[in-house]
Amino acid sequence: MINDFKSVGWTSLGHAYGPAGDVPQWLRDMASPDAKVREQAFSSFYGAAHHQGDVYPCTVASLPFLFTMADTPSTPDRASVVSLIVSIGREAVDRDEIGGTWIGIDGEETTAYQDAAALIRGRGDMFTGYACDADARVRSAAIPGVGLFLDDTELAVGVLRDRLDAEDGIMNRLLVIRTMGDLALRIPAAQEPARAWFDLLADGVAVDADVRLAALVQRARCVPESIDDTTVPTAIALLRQISPIPRPEDSTEADAIRGTSGPCACAPEAEPDPGVPGHVAAAFADLDRRNRVHAPTTSLLKTFHEVLDARVEDRTVLLCEQLSSPDAAIRYDAIDMARDLITSWRGDHTRLVRLLAECLLPHDSYTSAAAAEVLGSLGRLAEPAREALAAYVTTHRTTHRPDAWASPHAELRRAHQQAVLALAGLGDERALPGLLTALDTGVDAWRAVNAAGRLPQAAAELTPRLIRLLADIDHSREWPDVSPTSLASALAALGDPAAVPALTDAIAAAVQRGQWRTAEPVLEALASFGPRAIAALETVRPLAEVEDQGTRTAATSALWELERRPEHVVPLLQRLLDDKRNFDAVNLAGRIGPPAAAVLPRLRQILNDQLEQNALNEQNGSAVLNDSWTLVHVAAALWDIGGEEEADVVVPALLAAWKDNDSTARHALACLDRMGPAAHPALPQVRSALAQPRRGANAWGWNVAVDLEIQHVCQSILTRTETSQATR
């Protein structure tokens, strides 16, 4: 089969990065006896010929060779080969079932997905053999293929039932049950036998608890109407059977206090490469950490939460059980599930926050770091954990070393830092010693800078240190170790005017080096000081005429904030508004208010043009998205400049933008709040937004802080309206 590589015109085929002439070598190397060569070959293929799950003509051409390797007993890593085939097939089948046309990397219509799906389905019965292979890893890779690629329902159901009886490993048994669920959801004829099997397993007293739990979850997944008041309590009872509370004699003293089985048994994290910038190394480490699974039941429980979806109370009860589990691995994996629930759904999450706080254990830095990181992402919703965070940080400083932020132990250092950051996020000054250690030693100073702005009460100690770091920035480097943008933002948040000279110098240095990407945010930070930064005027004024639009806009905005002279700023602003999507310029016009009346005709033109384009898009069924951001920014500026006379245009535009793109809600509501009684037509939409249980209606949602702000503004608008009506 290797000799047949020449029969394929690989160079005429393409992958994510160009012609596919390198694919045959990757396929050869997948069969290499050298493990490192194989690893690199699979990585290269996934990265180019199966890039982010995509399927290209070269991917389809590779499938016969992959099947040959999977069928050859001497292939060194058949499991990885089968896993690759299943990954390709899953994507191909999913897209084939969606239907429609798909565009390839050359911009032309491609049939690669349909071709791959047909080829793999045509060999679907081969997965019955792979699923019964003597190698457990091959079986694990192949079992999902039984649910994805076999169209013979009776055969697929029979294979899966037989596999459950034959498998003795928990992971493969749970995988078999999951695959039966996939099969039932894909083929209607499989639903009845799958449901009967799930009932038999879930209700079987003699069946192992892990299998019963998996069957219960898959039954709920395939038959949502089967979920009732007993579903979650039954799942919890089964989870307790899987992880029984240890006997006192089997626990350490620390465990006895917590009632748990000890720290998470995970391999220690490696120290980062000193040659890699800290924030880059941390980003890769976080990505790796997110992909880890510590408990066999984790995938199953994630599926259960997906199935329960809006049943927030049921999910909360389940998560409370997970976070209280005697199994450290179950507790650890529940931490991120708790984050998903709290950040996705509104409600009282105090119980979950307190249980997350109980995961801050001095003897388990790995779990503590994860819990502290999640608490830090919750903003003020982490308030119930404040004292636990402070106690954890204090214990580290007294038990280990005062400068625990810079501890030589990677796991302890990360746990301490995350707890300090979470505490700073609550505005708690007990985070200050850790931040000062970071800024004084330079150890992970980039983390501390992002949090420093949360402690304005400590500006006297933080500002000089941030100024020193800003002065030390090498503006010849495109990516400094500590971001000047973060430093400028922190100094602006602290509000100490002692930072003005340093910010001014940083602007001059960035401009001298042509670092416009740095100059712009530093100008914005300088502008936040308003007239207190008037000494910087001579540095700022020439920048309002530079070629770079972002810097020119930021400088114009700074001129307004520093001296508040519309006769100097509005002429500059008119030129900036030639670009209708220069939202910073539009927002500046709004901040200037009535003195910027000269730009009203341009703003009205931008708004009308955009409304007409949106209407045309909808009339033609165009795939081009409506530009909601232009509507919301321009409408707000029209109100702030023109006031009541613009209300009839502004309110419909704000509501249209908000309805079309929920991400604009924060901006739309801020303007509606300023409008007072003129915002009355928006009240139904405001009430609806306040009543929705989910945080944000768009696919990505928004962070907790933004959602809390949106709720607050909605409530403020409604309360003011009700008060106004009551006094009439």
Whole-angstrom CA distances from 639 to 553, 583, 608, 609, 643 are 21, 15, 15, 18, 5
Residue 345 DSSP code: B
Whole-angstrom CA distances from 145 to 54, 141, 298, 340 are 18, 8, 21, 29
Residue matched to tokens 């009439």: 728
**Per-residue pLDDT tens over the stretch 312-322:** 999 999 999 99
Three-state secondary structure along 601-647?
Answer: HHHHHHHHHHHHHHHHHHHHCCCCCCCHHHHHHHHHHHHHHHHHHHH
Integer-rounded Cα Rg, in Å, for the chain is 30
Please, are residues 272 and 278 in contact by the beta-carbon 8 Å criterion? yes
Residue matched to tokens 């976080």: 286
Please, are residues 545 and 552 in contact by the beta-carbon 8 Å criterion? yes
103: enclosing H helix or E strand: strand 102-103
Give pLDDT, residue 719: 92
Please, are residues 332 and 366 in contact by the beta-carbon 8 Å criterion? yes
Name 234's Cβ contacts closer than 8 Å, sequence gap at least 6: 216
DSSP 513-565: TT-HHHHHHHHHHHHTTGGGGGGGHHHHGGGGGSS-HHHHHHHHHHHHHHH--
Alpha carbon distance 427, 450 (integer Å):
13
What are the tokens at 82? 């089968």
Give pLDDT, residue 169: 86
Alpha carbon distance 326, 323 (integer Å):
9
Residue matched to tokens 């029979």: 158
Residue 192 DSSP code: H
Q: State the virtual CA torsion across 19, 21, 27, 30 in degrees, nearest 10.
A: -90
* Residue positions counted in the chain: 728
Alpha carbon distance 421, 438 (integer Å):
12
- pTM (2 d.p.): 0.88
| 457 SS3 class | helix
Alpha carbon distance 457, 491 (integer Å):
13
Residue matched to tokens 């580290």: 396
| 346 SS3 class | coil
What are the tokens at 187? 């083929």
Amino acid at site 185: L
Give pLDDT, residue 205: 83
Please, are residues 367 and 359 in contact by the beta-carbon 8 Å criterion? yes
- Strands 18-19, 109-110: pairing kind: unpaired
Alpha carbon distance 535, 135 (integer Å):
74
| 681 SS3 class | helix
What are the tokens at 722? 């009700």
What are the tokens at 692? 């929705």
Amino acid at site 354: R
Closest CA to 171 of 139, 201, 149: 139
Residue 621: CB atoms within 10 Å: 6
Name 410's Cβ contacts closer than 8 Å, sequence gap at least 6: 268, 269, 270, 271, 272
What are the tokens at 509? 């240095």
Phi-psi region of 442 (alpha: psi -120 to 50; beta: other; left: phi over 0): left
Mean pLDDT, contiguous 10-residue spans, the chain (728 residues): 70 89 94 95 95 92 95 94 96 79 62 92 94 94 95 94 91 94 94 96 90 97 95 96 67 38 51 63 71 88 96 98 95 96 95 98 93 96 98 93 90 95 97 96 93 97 97 77 92 97 96 92 97 96 96 97 96 94 96 97 95 84 72 97 96 94 94 95 95 72 84 94 72
Alpha carbon distance 322, 314 (integer Å):
13
| Cα dihedral across residues 360, 363, 367, 373: positive or negative | positive
Whole-angstrom CA distances from 43 to 47, 62, 525 are 6, 15, 43
Name 406's Cβ contacts closer than 8 Å, sequence gap at least 6: 413, 437, 438, 441, 443, 444
Burial of 135 (0-12, 13-18, 19+ CB in 10 A): middle
Residue matched to tokens 């066999």: 296
Q: State the virtual CA torsion across 611, 612, 614, 617 in degrees, nearest 10.
A: 180
Give pLDDT, residue 243: 83
Three-state secondary structure along 301-326?
Answer: HHHHHHHHCCCHHHHHHHHHHHHCCC
Amino acid at site 302: K
Alpha carbon distance 149, 187 (integer Å):
11
Q: State the virtual CA torsion across 573, 574, 580, 583 in degrees, nearest 10.
A: 20
Give pLDDT, residue 619: 79
Alpha carbon distance 659, 651 (integer Å):
12
Q: Tell me the H-state helices in 72-125.
A: 78-98, 112-122
**Per-residue pLDDT tens over the stretch 236-278:** 999 999 987 665 554 443 343 333 445 544 445 556 666 566 7
Closest CA to 112 of 49, 52, 47: 49
Give pLDDT, residue 269: 55
Give pLDDT, residue 560: 97
